[in-house]
Chain A
Amino acid sequence: MPSSKKTEEFIKLYDDMADQLFRHCFFKVSNRELALDLVQETFSRTWEYIASGKKVNNVRGFLFKVANNLIIDEYRKKKVVSLEKLQERTGFDAPVQDHKKTMFSVEVDNILKHINKLDKKYRDVILMRYVNDYSPKEIASILGESENAVSVRINRGLKKVQEMINVHTSDL
């Protein structure tokens, strides 16, 4: 018999984390359907791992790791259109609660374009900080790094974004 307590705990985890994981996947794969599949697969695999009796200390970090691995797998399959290309083509297309498709504001669209030009190590922490609204401490916990290292990386990443914006503005 499955433990109802464990099931309840895991479903509560789903309720808490589903949107955050969806956002994380969506901003990386820029494909809503694919992001949904990735979230579903992330939770299924995490449960499978727990059901096999293995221990998970930081379950939120574990969910993000599973999601990131699945995203990498998708990139390897070359099924994903890069965010940058998508933005260049049409502007970023975001899903909204009222089922209407809306565009991000020009300013947000612009800053996202620059963020996605950053190296992965800067891009990931900035997206987690400003898209998922995690504190540096939470990001550090998820990535298994120090809070200080995460804060430094966010600041350096933002400086690079600022430089890109400045160059872009001066070109106009």
Chain B
Amino acid sequence: MKRRLELLQQESLQAALYDEERHMMREALLDYIHQNPAPSASYRSTGRSTFLKRNRNRLLVMAIILLAVASVVFTAQRSAPGDTLYVVKRGVNERAQGMFAFSAEAKARHQVGMMEHRLVEVIELDASGTLTPERHEALRADFKDHIGVFNTHLKSLIDTGKEQNIAKAALVNAYFNTTLNKNARGVRFFLDINTQTIVQ
């Protein structure tokens, strides 16, 4: 049996293409390939291209969603109280910015930034004649809150008793005063709010 199988293996090799047949078939195949090109086809597809092919639609949807979210966030940044997107500006944009403030100094600086936003908003609303009493009151309340939180962070720096932190508190306080001076036109809308800090 074994010998028969060995013979079968040997003699089977005789069943092969003639050289001219192999050549002609090869040429015909090349013609066919040139008539039916495959610019991106491969039977050895890479993981990357396969991933892109399989998830093309999902990636497209994700890209559209990301683009839409980015557009909303960007537009919201320019919104003023009373605008539909103002909620996004306060609830998403400013909150997200605050998430990256880890130290008391950074948190205090973040609050100064928020105060400046409120001051700019009140100036712009007044200039456009849309500063209604409700909007004014809302901005005033927010501004007051920012000052309160700012003072808390400032105090936590000073309470450490370290010279280094006290110096930081002085610097942040200077930044606060500069911001108020820079937006003095806005501050006059919040004259009833005490802008004295514990450093002063």
Residues of A at the B interface (CB closer than 8 Å) are 1-3, 6-7, 9-11, 13-15, 18-19, 22-23, 26-27, 36, 39-40, 43-44, 47-48, 50-57, 59, 62, 94-97, 99, 102, 104-105, 107-108, 110-112, 130-133, 158, 161-162, 165
B191 on interface, CB distance cutoff 8 Å: no
- Once the chains bind, are B8 and A2 in contact (CB under 8 Å)? no
Query: Which of B36-44, B116-124, B158-166 touches A?
Result: B36-44
Residues of B within 8 A of A (CB): 1, 3-5, 7-9, 11-19, 21-22, 25-26, 28-30, 32-34, 36-45, 50, 53
* A130 touching B9 in the complex, CB below 8 Å, given contacts A22-B17, A94-B14: yes
Interchain CB contact under 8 A, A51 and B38: yes
* Among candidates B4, B42, B43, residue contacting A107 with C-beta atoms closer than 8 Å: B4
Our pick among A7, A57, A130, A133 for the contact of B33 (Cβ within 8 Å) is A7
In the complex the two chains form, is A23's CB within 8 Å of B16's CB?
yes
B8 adjacent to A39 (CB under 8 Å): no
Whole-angstrom distance from the CB of B80 to the nearest CB of chain A? 51
- Bound CA–CA A112/B156 (angstroms): 94
Contact at A130–B8, with CB atoms within 8 Å? yes
Looking across the interface, which residue of chain B has its beta carbon closest to that of A58?
A: B43
Structural contact, B37 and A51, CB atoms closer than 8 A: yes
Q: Which residues of B contact A133 (CB under 8 A)?
A: 9, 12-13
Q: Are A3 and B29 touching (Cβ within 8 A)?
A: no
Inter-subunit contact A6/B38 (CB<8 Å): yes
The B interface is mostly helix, strand or loop, or mixed, namely helix
Please indicate which of the listed interface residues B5, B19, B26 has the most CB atoms of chain A within 10 Å of its own CB.
B5
Q: Give the complex CA separation of A11 and B11 in angstroms.
A: 27
A47 touches B36 (CB 8 A): yes
The 3 closest A-B pairs by CB, nearest first: A2-B37, A51-B38, A56-B43
Q: Are B1 and A22 in touch, CB under 8 angstroms?
A: no
Q: Are B41 and A108 in contact (CB under 8 A)?
A: no
Please tell me if the beta carbons of B8 and A9 are within 8 angstroms of each other in the complex: no
Asked if A19 and B26 make an inter-chain contact with CB atoms under 8 angstroms apart, the answer reads: no
On whether the beta carbons of B38 and A11 are closer than 8 Å, the reply is no
Bound Cα distance A2, B33 (Å): 8
A162 with B1: CB separation less than 8 A:
yes
Q: Is B43 a contact partner of A55 (Cβ separation < 8 A)? A: yes
Most buried by B among A6, A23, A105: A6
A2 touches B39 (CB 8 A): yes
> Once the chains bind, are B29 and A50 in contact (CB under 8 Å)?
no
Q: Is the CB of A22 within 8 A of B16?
A: yes
- List, in ascending order, chain B residues with CB within 8 A of A50's CB: 38, 41-43
B53 A53 Cβ-Cβ under 8 A: yes
Is A11 touching B17 in the complex (CB atoms < 8 A)?
no
Interface pair B50/A55, CB less than 8 Å apart: yes
Give CA–CA (A54, B44) in the complex, Å: 11
16 residue pairs A–B, Cβ–Cβ below 8 Å: A1-B39, A2-B38, A6-B41, A10-B29, A47-B32, A47-B33, A48-B36, A51-B36, A57-B43, A97-B14, A102-B14, A108-B11, A111-B5, A111-B7, A132-B12, A133-B12
